Amino acid sequence: MRYLPLTDTDRGDMLAKIGAGSIDDLFVDVPEIARLDGPIRDLPMHASEMAVERHMKARANKNLAAGDAPFFLGAGAYRHHIPASVDTVIQRGEFLTAYTPYQPEIAQGTLQMLFEFQTQVARLYGCAVANASLYDGSTACWEAVAMAGRVTKRNRAVLSGALHPHYAQVVKTMAQFTGDTIADSAPAIQTEPDLDGLTARIDDETACVVVQYPDILGRISDLSKVADAAHAKGALLIVVNTEPVALGAIMSPGEMGADIVVGEGQSIGVGLQFGGPYLGLFAVRDPKHVRQMPGRLCGETTDAEGKRGFVLTLSTREQHIRREKATSNICTNSGLCALAFSVHMTLLGEKGMRELAAENHRLACLAADRLEKVPGVKLLNTSFFNEFTLMLDGKPAREIVRELADRGVLGGVSLGRLYPGIEALEHALLVAVTETTTEDDIETLANELERIVMEPAQ
Amino acid sequence: MNAPNKSGWKPAMEAAEDGLHNGPQTVTGNRALMLEEPLIFEIGKAEVTGVDLPKIDPAVPTRLAGLHRDDAIGLVGLTEPETVRHYTRLSRQNYGIDLGFFPLGSCTMKHNPRLNEKMARLPGFADIHPLAPQNSVQGALQVIDELATWLKTLTGMPAVAMSPKAGAHGELCGILAIRAAHTAAGNPREVVLVPESAHGTNPATAAFAGYRVEDIPATPEGRVNVAELKARLGPDVAAVMITNPNTCGLFEKDFREIADAVHEAGGYVYCDGANFNAIVGRVRPGDLGVDAMHINLHKTFSTPHGGGGPGSGPVVFSEALAPYAPLPFVKQDDAGEYYLVEEEHREERGPTFGRMTAFHGQMGMFTRALTYMLSHGADGLKQVAEDAVLNANYILRSLEDLLHAPFADSGPCMHEALFGDKDFGGDLSTLDLAKALIDEGYHPMTVYFPLVVHGAMLVEPTETESKASIDQFIEAFRSVAQRALDGDQSMKQAPYYAPRRRLDETAAARKPKLAWSEPEE
């Protein structure tokens, strides 16, 4: 077996040293009832590298890769170009095969990277402090709600109807168990989000208001008023961002008064990967909230010779020290995804980030204008960054998406899939455009939509 | 041209006090292949970028609701050559499995096969969207289903939730399912029992799920005290969380008896599967009466630790808990087409407790883990457990004459060997020994865990170390252990040869500096 260095001679010598007659003697504490007499029969035996590769490729080939089709899916995961050097860096064994940096003297590579990453995220979000990452945007969203509860000593969260429904589901799932109350609603299908309706739901019991920016329908709005309304009632504003590239063009949530900013970092350096692993970003505007944060934090210090160095810090918040009184049960971060994000961000820099955002927006405007010209298609948004909602006549959007896929076009996400049972959304299609989208792709989608939308339903 | 040394450290021109660095000091602060590297914010520039993008045309109208980001974001860029060099230099200040032995107990730092990486990067896996129409991702859903089958078969359990993002997330998933099952029966109950030797995640998870945590004491031989546990069981106990093999490196031989007693009292048995590597292919937790168990794909199934994530923590469930498993899960219809059961499938979703994450879990880790399983096969995985246990026992028996091994007489250890700092001379501690081991070229073992042993040192060799590698480690470990027993005071300043000497963690916590800012002139 190519991954097992021990030889049979080694095994014999080692058993002799241990004083055991056979390997079975080492499993003597396993009760009879649980002992297997040989390899599990329902599974295949070992295979060569070549055979395994063949097996896996056969499965990969059954999928239509985003890069092989005109591609317009977003809704919390976006396809961006990843510079080649990003993958080169994350495949270096010293990063790939390292452990959580508990021994800082021999983990300065990971730690300095995390310190740089935290700085990049904090600045992108307009915040003071970011943590070293969480699992993904949706779990970061729940951790923010939980943290707001700790800060305000209240347990009512008001969710915007235009928060990604899966994020809302994660929050509601957890809240059933923690005794938090969640006030949420479905998104109103209109050009402007109903922020007045949202602020009207904030009361003296409210711990936090959770708003997505840009929201699930792609709309952008000034959240300063929501921040003021929340603060007037002693509540925190949590802003969720699922497309970090947008923050190269639009005002940061921190600038608008968000207290906690969370989001998905997948767009930068990580790739689609069918939903994971992704990268949860988490930051606070006010440094006084740092000790209530979940997750890992990397901080600067010096070593015994006075050299600058970095360590994981404030770990008394964490489970391995505080056990049942910890700020979260999480035990690690998304280190390698954070590295990918940070390398990509370093390649972009201020200039690249702004140009990338501008290019995304330019192409999205182009797409919106072209698709709006298709008979039976209406554009909902007056504002958007790189994702917008189309209202389609005729068949439900889910069917249209499936037919498009059959024709080799990945045309968007039907809101009916995200919001099952909400009649008004059955005909809504969410379309995302990035720098990877070509004008030909846009033309193809427009032509295919024209063909399908007006067809009579089967 | 090396970047200027901005670390604030000025080279002393005389030999260091410890007399160990007798070579001349360098002006750069570098030492040949050990290169100092500034922060990107000290070498990058706002106007520099390593990507080629179209220039911004300010005349193009925008639809950003007037919310333009006018002020500087505060990012800096590097060109590609500078970027590659920056991260390459940083990487060389890291220890990794590729470099050497990584004996971290409870973490299973085995070799990460590169075929896994190659397969995960196939565009058909890496470049597909989680919400892609399901007729376009049949192969991906098949991989999730196949991995689920492997996990169910290896554990002897009927159901599995694939979406948890890491071990701790898996624990949460298991405890939430338990709470949901109790709630459905009319009473969520109040208490979760956790052994003293448990990972900190266990009590934190139980508390997050709304339970009060009570400790179960251990016996002197390092196992759960069955009599005390049984005495504590009652109608208020929702579950017991047990790690098996446990964090003392021992198999809980009374596990079945414990499980039966817990079930008798109407509770559920959660098993922390962190140490599954010791028994994979040889023991099925389902045969021991487990109701829920998470499996760390980044331990037993060789997906990379990545300097702290991403992990992956699928959870297997018994028949009793299966209906409460979270969404989504993969099913096949009559035509053989795979599909995801999500919120909208009201009939099929059953009494699920809900959703743990936005999408379907760590697909990138599923492809790696499945690749690994196929490589080893059922026979290889059984050999994995045997070699891991053999290596650990070999270490235990090669060190027990020198170091305090509190459970050496409790029978064979499983995948890891536990030592304590009893009899260390002077005021030397486990930490000092760990730092001295760094100078010998090893990442230290897990220290100060489990809490049941004073100055604990938990050594897990895994199956991917050769006998020569382990012999060399034993020699190094014996030498630093002997120094600790002799009270060698020079260990208090170790490590001497790492990229950094001991770091001041107290100062870091007292005045946290968690982001870079322009130095004040």
CATH for the stretch B157-369: 3.40.640.10
Report the residue of B189, B357, B395, B446 to disrupt the A interface, i.e. the one with the largest count of A CBs within 10 Å. Answer: B357
Of B51, B56, B393, the CB nearest to A83: B51
Shortest alpha-carbon distance between residue A139 and chain B (Å): 6
Residue in chain A nearest B288 by alpha carbon: A34
Chosen from B18, B87, B178 to mutate, greatest number of chain A CBs within 10 A: B87
Residues linked to residue B518 through DSSP beta bridges, in sequence order: none
- Once rounded to an integer, what is the mean pLDDT over residues B34-44? 96
Flag if B140 and A63 touch (Cβ within 8 Å): yes
Cα–Cα distance, A69 to A87 (Å, whole number): 23
- For residue A349, the chain B residues in CB contact (below 8 A) are 44-50, 75-78
Kindly tell me if the per-residue pLDDT of B116 is higher than 70.
yes
Closest CB to B390 among A26, A299, A304 = A26
CA dist B350 and B346 (Å) reads 7
Kindly write down the DSSP assignment for every residue of B60-78, as one continuous string: S---STT-B--S-----B-
- Residue A57 has its nearest CB partner, among B122, B307, B357, at B122
Instruction: For residue A306, give the chain B residue with the closest CA.
Output: B9
Please give the residue of chain A at the shortest CA–CA distance from B179: A177
CB-CB neighbors (< 8 A) of B121 in chain A? 87
Read off the amino acid at residue B47: E
DSSP per residue over A324-383, as a string? GGSS-S-----HHHHHHHHHHHHHHHHHHHHHHHHHHHHHHHHHHHHHHTSTTEEE--SS
B316: closest CA of chain A, how far (Å) = 17
Cα B493 from Cα B487, distance rounded (Å): 13
Interface contact flag, A355 B382, Cβ < 8 Å = no
To the nearest whole angstrom, how far is the Cα of A446 from the nearest Cα of chain B?
A: 18
Coil, strand or helix at B513: coil
Tell me the nearest-neighbour CA distance from A32 into chain B, angstroms: 10
Q: What pLDDT score does A315 carry?
A: 83
Quote the DSSP letter at residue B30. Answer: -
Mutate to test the interface with B, among A15, A332, A342, A452 (most CBs of B within 10 A): A332
Check residue B7 and give its pLDDT.
55
Residue B375's contacts (CB-CB under 8 Å, 6 or more residues apart) are A2, A3, A46, A47, A49, A52, B113, B115
Average confidence score pLDDT of chain B: 94
d(CA B186, CA B164): 27
Cross-chain residue pair A332–B309, CB shorter than 8 Å: yes
Q: How far is B255 from chain A (nearest CA, A)?
A: 9
Q: What is the pLDDT of residues B330-365, one digit of tens each?
A: 999 999 999 999 988 888 889 999 999 999 999 999
Strand blocks (E) in A213-340: 236-241, 260-264, 280-284, 298-302, 308-312
Distance, in angstroms, between B140 CA and closest chain A CA? Answer: 7
Residue B14 has a pLDDT of: 46
**Burial of B27 per CB tally in 10 Å (0-12, 13-18, 19+):** exposed
Summarize the confidence of residues B199-214 as an average pLDDT.
Answer: 92
Half-sphere exposure in the Cβ direction for A245 (13 Å, CA)? 31
- What is the spatial distance between Cα B295 and Cα B171, in angstroms, rounded to a whole number? 9
Walk across the sheet containing B191-195 and list its strands. B159-161, B315-317, B292-294, B268-272, B237-243, B191-195, B212-216
Interface test with B, best of A7, A8, A63 (most B CBs within 10 A): A63
Nearest Cα residue to B221 out of B201, B249, B244: B249
- Please list the alpha-helical segments (H only) found in A233-327: 319-322
Per the CB < 8 A criterion, the answer to whether B418 and B406 are in contact is: yes
Q: Which CATH fold topology does A66-80+350-453 show?
A: Aspartate Aminotransferase, domain 1 (3.90.1150)
pLDDT digits (tens, 9 = 90+) for B142-159: 999 999 999 999 999 999
Are A329 and B171 in contact (CB < 8 Å)? yes
pLDDT at B271 over 70: yes
pLDDT at B22: 60
Tell me the three-class secondary structure of B224-260, residue by residue.
Answer: ECHHHHHHHCCCCEEEEEEECCCCCCCCCCCHHHHHH
| Distance set, CA B117 to CA B40, B94, B204, B254 (Å) | 28, 20, 33, 39
Cα B290 to its chain centre, rounded Å, is: 22
Within 10 Å of residue B225's Cβ, how many Cβ atoms? 18
Which residues make Cβ contacts (< 8 Å) with residue B220, sequence separation at least 6? Answer: none
Q: What does DSSP assign to residue A286?
A: S
Does the distance separating the beta carbons of A77 and B39 come in below 8 Å?
no
Distance between B486 CA and the closest CA of chain A, angstroms: 24
Strands B417-419 and B457-459 turn out to be antiparallel
pLDDT digits (tens, 9 = 90+) for B306-316: 999 999 999 99
Q: Which residues of B touch A118 (CB under 8 A)?
A: 514-515
- Residue A421 with chain B: CB contacts under 8 Å: 344
Q: Are A143 and B175 in contact (CB under 8 A)?
A: no
Question: Which residues of B are less than 8 Å from A123 in CB distance?
Answer: 73-75, 515
Mark residue B441 as left, alpha or beta (left: phi above 0; alpha: psi -120 to 50; beta: remaining): left
Q: Which residues contact A140 (CB under 8 A, 6 or more apart)?
A: A134, A262, A263, A264, A280, A281, A282
Cβ-defined contact of B307 to A95 (cutoff 8 Å): yes
Count of beta carbons in the 10 Å neighbourhood of residue A264: 27
Instruction: Give the one of A173, A305, A351 whose C-beta lies nearest to B9's C-beta.
Output: A305
Residue B7: CB partners within 8 Å, gap ≥ 6? Answer: A307, A308, B29, B36, B38
CA-based nearest distance B520→chain A, Å: 16
Tokens representing residue B146 in the block: 């196949």
Of A75, A83, A290, the CB nearest to B131: A75
Domain ranges of chain B: 157-369
Yes or no, beta carbons of A105 and B207 under 8 Å apart = no
Q: Determine whether B60 is exposed, middle or buried from the number of CB atoms within 10 Å of its CB (0-12, 13-18, 19+).
A: exposed
Cβ neighbours for B369, distance < 8 A, ≥ 6 positions apart: B116, B147, B297, B301, B302, B303, B312
Cα torsion B277, B278, B280, B283: sign: negative
Nearest CB to B115; choose among A49, A169, A365: A49
Length of chain A: 458
Q: How confident is the model at residue B15 (pLDDT cuts 50, 70, 90)?
A: very low
User: Nearest residue of A to residue B114 by CA position?
Assistant: A91
CA distance A217 to chain B (A): 14
Whether residues A272 and B135 touch (CB distance < 8 A) is answered with no
Cβ contact (<8 Å) for B74 and A123?
yes
Q: What angle do CA A136, A142, A143 make, to 5 degrees?
A: 85
Fold of A84-345: Aspartate Aminotransferase; domain 2 (3.40.640)
One DSSP character per residue, A7-73 reads -HHHHHHHHHHHT-SSGGGGGTTS-GGGB-SSS-TTS-B---HHHHHHHHHHHHTTB--GGGS-B--
N- to C-terminal Cα separation, chain A: 55
List for chain B the helix, strand, coil content (%; round to 5): 35, 10, 50
Q: What are the residue boundaries of the structural domains of chain A, listed by start?
A: 66-80+350-453, 84-345
CA distances from B220 to B54, B225, B407 (A): 69, 9, 8
Q: Which one, of A441, A449, A321, A350, lies nearest residue A391 by Cα?
A: A449
From B50, B135, B279, residue closest to A83, measured CB to CB: B50
Distance from C-alpha of A382 to C-alpha of A217, rounded to nearest angstrom: 11
Number of residues that this document lists for chain B: 521
**Which of A43, A119, A320 comes nearest B516 by C-beta?**
A119
Q: What is the mean pLDDT of each run of 10 residues along chain A (458 residues)?
A: 97 98 96 89 96 98 97 98 98 97 97 98 98 97 96 96 96 92 88 93 97 97 98 98 98 98 98 97 97 95 96 84 77 92 98 98 98 97 98 94 95 93 91 98 97 75
Quick one: B98 exposed, middle or buried, by C-beta within 10 A (0-12, 13-18, 19+)? middle
Q: Using only the alpha carbons of chain A, give its radius of gyration.
A: 25
Q: Are A319 and A326 in contact (CB under 8 A)?
A: yes
A–B interface: beta-carbon pairs under 8 A: 742
Closest CA to B379 of A43, A48, A9: A43
Residues A308, B397: C-beta atoms closer than 8 Å: no
Query: CB distance A103–B95 less than 8 Å?
Result: yes
Q: Which of A346, A276, A103 is nearest to B433 (CA)?
A: A103
| B348 Ramachandran zone, left/alpha/beta (phi>0; psi -120 to 50) | alpha
Helix or strand or coil: residue B154? helix
| Token couple for A262 | 């969370």
CA atoms within 13 A on the CB side of A30: 24
Contacts of A326 in chain B (CB under 8 A): 200, 204, 207
- Show residues of chain B in contact with A356, CB under 8 Å: 51, 53
Would you put residue B118 in left (φ > 0), alpha (ψ -120 to 50) or beta? alpha
Question: Which one of B451, B514, B516 would you mutate to disrupt binding with A, by most A Cβ within 10 Å of its Cβ?
Answer: B514
Nearest to A47 among B53, B77, B374 (CB): B374
- The verdict on a CB contact (< 8 Å) between A49 and B53 is no
CA distance A242 to A275: 13
Question: Coil, strand or helix: which one is A93?
Answer: helix
The alpha carbon of residue B204 and the mean position of all alpha carbons in its chain are separated, in whole angstroms, by 16
Closest CA to B274 of B241, B307, B226, B234: B241
Closest by Cβ to A53, choosing from B119, B358, B463: B119
| Cβ <8 Å between B361 and A275 | yes
Which DSSP symbol is given to B3?
Answer: P
Chain A CB contacts of B84 under 8 Å are 85, 88-89
Q: Which residues pair with B339 in a beta bridge?
A: B331
The predicted structure's pLDDT at residue A186:
82
Helix (H) or strand (E) holding B270: strand B268-272
State how beta strands A308-312 and A377-379 pair: unpaired
Contacts of B356 in chain A (CB under 8 A): 139, 170, 173
